[in-house]
Amino acid sequence: MNAILDKLFLNTTKFIAIAVLLIVAWIFSTLIEHSMVSLEAFGFSFVTESKWAPNLEKFGALPAIYGSVVSTFLAMLLAIPIAIGIAIFLSELAPPKLKSLVGVSIELLAAIPSVIYGMWGLFYFVPIIRDIFGGIGISMLTAGIVLSIMILPFMAAVTRDAMNTTPDILKESAYALGGTRWDIIKDIVIPYAKAGIIGSFILALGRAIGETMAVTFVMGNVHKISLDLTAPATSIPVTLANEFTEADTDLYYSSLFELSLILLIISFTIISVAKFYFLRRKRSF
Amino acid sequence: MTHTQKRVLLNNIIMTLSTISAIIGIGFLFWILGILVINGVDALSWNIFTQEGAPPGYEDGGLKHALIGQLMIVGVATFFGVPFGILAGTYLSEYGQKSKLAETIRDVSDIMMSAPSIVIGAFVYAIVVVPMGHFSGWAGSIALTIIMLPIILRTTDDMLQLVPSTLREAAFALGAPKYKVITQVVYRGAKAGIFTGILLGIARVAGETAPLLFTSFNDNFLNTDMMEPMASLTVTMYNYATSPYEDWQRLGWAAAFILSMFILTLNILGRIFIMKKREK
């Protein structure tokens, strides 16, 4: 009896564990299958064509891809220095009480749903951008800034964790040699935690590029490549969120699936690079 | 200026800069939190919990439909996501261990945890909404289950590995079969950790909006039939906030406030459980 139950338990758990792999494979194959119409109609030109005109049955993904890349780049550009600043403050500067208070609140802020960052962006940040830069305030720049604020808590927390892995004995030795705090950070902490820090940034990048709700409110969903950052734009997730329920033809529908597929491949690649190239060491348990 | 003075000066400049950036970053985050609390508390009233959605212009609109819809969608996702996640995590930690299969499953679920949730929405649209012919609460729950699964799986895996192997060996020595060792000894040892994982998993999917946009869709009135489109706090928040009507926007803030408080409470509870466990 016990032998049967043992086998049953093993096989149930194993089956469900393997099901996780199957689901992922199923996601890819479904997205590919539903992209077929668009893949056949446009081929590679889908990603190089910049005209997205559902009424003319013309779909080019370049503006969305461009928007995803630029808004994410802006977000990283703004968030990286501030995240490093917060991490240095938390791991090296703050007194212990402040350290845990600020540290915990940052971790909790990372749990706030992104739709709330988007809502805040729409009601409070869009008017500020409008007043400073003119235009309507709904723009690539606004999206980049709101996105940077949204990923900031996650980035700061993981950067701090990476910095905290530096053994105290190394830091103490360097202090004993007369190093200043900055000397210790630049010559001991950063070299020691480099892989972890870079890995965390890339992981944040992978999350940011797939982020939908924080940017949907403030980007405008305009399929036009504009070098003017204060002009409305779109990104892959923004297009999906706005247009998925409106797709009325097979080609339109299929083009949106191809966009999802592109997004999934991009983020899978970025996250894999972060996980396997930079963060491998962490997984030694 | 001597070399030492230069180093000290540079140190002071950089430490000031990093303190300033910390203040800027934390300031922004508390600004958002402050706005959320001010607008949210301001918009709270009994109507929110007792009334369904109303057309714009009617004063007495509430969020009852969205609160119940949210509880049902997340509840069903938890009902499936938690046991499946725990069982899969059990396989990884107790049977698969460092085998190639187990490592692959770990890697894939790590990636899935950060994968764009809107893509999961598109997938569920294709496999559930299209065959059914319409949006439904089930579709939303399925999307959230897929998002929750890797989170529960990985925390269970991590937490079970923390249980000392001497405990398992002691139980084996008493002649217990493996499934009994796992269900009666290992699970008990990892109880607090698994529970925290569940809380964090629920907190994570409760805030998801993108995968619900085209799965459970929305409904401005109370619906408890999972086969039909269903309101959720997040999608309602999105629709109300982007509407031009002030009373809808107010309801949007109330929804944002209630949801954030729920998620923060789960996170804080999770932390307390883990801390209690450590103190022992």
User: What CATH number does residue B156 fall under?
Assistant: 1.10.3720.10
Report the C-alpha gap between B143 and B150 in whole angstroms. 13
Query: Do B138 and B22 belong together in one domain?
Result: no
Report helix, strand or coil for A59.
strand
Query: Do B37 and B81 belong together in one domain?
Result: no
Instruction: Render each residue's pLDDT in chain B as its tens digit; 280 residues.
Output: 788 898 999 999 999 998 998 899 889 888 999 999 999 999 998 888 988 888 887 877 889 999 999 999 999 999 999 999 999 999 999 999 899 999 999 999 999 998 899 999 999 999 999 999 999 999 999 999 999 999 999 999 999 999 999 999 999 999 999 999 999 999 999 999 999 999 999 999 999 999 999 999 988 888 889 999 999 999 999 999 999 998 899 999 999 999 999 999 999 999 888 887 766 5
- Whether residue A116 and residue B36 make contact (CB cut-off 8 A), yes or no, is yes
Q: Which pLDDT band, with edges at 50, 70 and 90, does A284 fall under?
A: very low
- The domain containing residue B21 runs over which residues? 3-43
Query: Do B115 and B21 belong together in one domain?
Result: no
Comparing C-alpha atoms, which of B137, B136, B138, B144 is closest to residue B120? B144
Report the C-alpha gap between A63 and A109 in whole angstroms. 31
DSSP state of A58: E
pLDDT for B57: 78
A281 has a pLDDT exceeding 70: no
Would B58 be classed as within a structural domain? Answer: no
- The total domain count for chain B is 2
Query: Do B23 and B101 belong together in one domain?
Result: no
* Domain residue ranges in chain A: 52-283
Report helix, strand or coil for A137.
coil
Report the C-alpha gap between A172 and A111 in whole angstroms. 34
Among residues 23-62 of chain B, which lie with CB inside 8 Å of chain A? Answer: 24-26, 28-33, 35-36
The distance of B237 to chain A (nearest Cα, Å) reads: 8
Model pTM score: 0.94
Would B52 be classed as within a structural domain? Answer: no
- Distant-in-sequence, close-in-space partners of B102: CB < 8 Å, separation ≥ 6: A17, B91, B92, B95, B96
Q: How would you classify residue A221: left for phi > 0, otherwise alpha for psi between -120 and 50, otherwise beta? A: left
Query: Do B158 and B77 belong together in one domain?
Result: yes
- Per-residue exposure over A235-269, b if at least 16 CB sit within 10 Å of its own CB, e if not: bbbbbbbbbbeebeeebbbbbbbbbbbbbbebbbe
Q: Which amino acid is at B118?
A: I
The number of residues making up chain A comes to 285
Query: Do B22 and B85 belong together in one domain?
Result: no
- Whether residue A13 and residue B94 make contact (CB cut-off 8 A), yes or no, is yes
Query: Do B71 and B39 belong together in one domain?
Result: no
Closest residue on chain A to B240 (Cα): A119
Would B181 be classed as within a structural domain? Answer: yes
pLDDT, tens digit (0-9, with 9 covering 90-100), for A177-222: 988 999 999 999 999 999 889 988 999 999 999 999 999 999 999 9
- Tokens 């949204």, residue located: A150
Is the CATH number of domain A52-283 1.10.3720.10?
Answer: yes
**How many other C-beta atoms lie within 10 A of the C-beta of residue B250?**
19
- Whether residue A119 and residue B237 make contact (CB cut-off 8 A), yes or no, is yes
A8 has a pLDDT exceeding 90: yes
Beta bridge partners of A59: A52
Query: Do B175 and B75 belong together in one domain?
Result: yes
A280 has a pLDDT exceeding 80: no
- Per-residue exposure over B73-96, b if at least 16 CB sit within 10 Å of its own CB, e if not: bbebbbebbbebbbbbbbbbbbbb
Report helix, strand or coil for B188.
helix
Q: Which pLDDT band, with edges at 50, 70 and 90, does A285 fall under?
A: very low
Report the C-alpha gap between B218 and B230 in whole angstroms. 5
Query: Do B101 and B133 belong together in one domain?
Result: yes
Query: Do B114 and B240 belong together in one domain?
Result: yes
pLDDT, tens digit (0-9, with 9 covering 90-100), for A258-277: 999 999 999 999 999 988 88
- Give the burial class of A81: count Cβ atoms within 10 A of its Cβ; 0-12 exposed, 13-18 middle, 19 or more buried: middle
